[in-house]
Amino acid sequence: MAANTTKIKSTGIICKGNVEKNFELFPNALFDYIQLDLISHTDLVVYMKLYQYYNLDIGYAYPTVPQLMFLTGIGGKSTINNCFKNLERVGLIQRGKALKGNNIYVVYKPLDKAELYEAVPGKVEKLREKEIDLVAMAENDKERFHQHMLDKQKMG
């Protein structure tokens, strides 16, 4: 992080229930895709921008790569293109070309958790192993903290 960081004061207003303009509903199922390591956080940002720019009347979104770079703060064309590949690979978007040759993107609803888990059982198993490791790590941390407190009492 840069030494000179900008600090911005909060509105002080709780967000949930108080956002009425410039608001998109967020498909929570996307977190399952991230948790299973199917997409990255960067992919999610691109998906949400495509979702936001999706035009129901014509049936697709059509931002340019430079527009997406600007709108998302993603610095490279190759990063955006990798996001497209990842999102397409997991069935969240479909890329195509309009009559004039412009890129178009159809944005799909994510699978629900049960459907997604059924589609990638190997990823689900890895996630469960990771959860077991994290629970064990948390238990180890508790034990170490408890021992630290006992040692501190003995010395104090």
Residues 74-128: pLDDT tens digits?
999 999 999 999 999 999 999 999 888 889 999 999 999 999 999 999 999 999 9
Q: How many angstroms separate the CA atoms of 32 and 112, rounded?
A: 9
Q: Look at residue 18 and tell me whether its pLDDT is greater than 60.
A: yes
Phi then psi for 95, rounded to 5 degrees? -95, 150
- Rounded to the nearest integer, the mean pLDDT of the chain is 91
Query: What's the pTM value of the predicted model, to 2 decimals?
Result: 0.80
Position 16 confidence tier, pLDDT thresholds 50, 70, 90: confident
Q: How many angstroms separate the CA atoms of 33 and 110, rounded?
A: 9
Q: Which of 94, 121, 95 is nearest to 108 (CA)?
A: 94
Q: How many angstroms separate the CA atoms of 99 and 96, rounded?
A: 10
Q: How many angstroms separate the CA atoms of 127 and 120, rounded?
A: 11
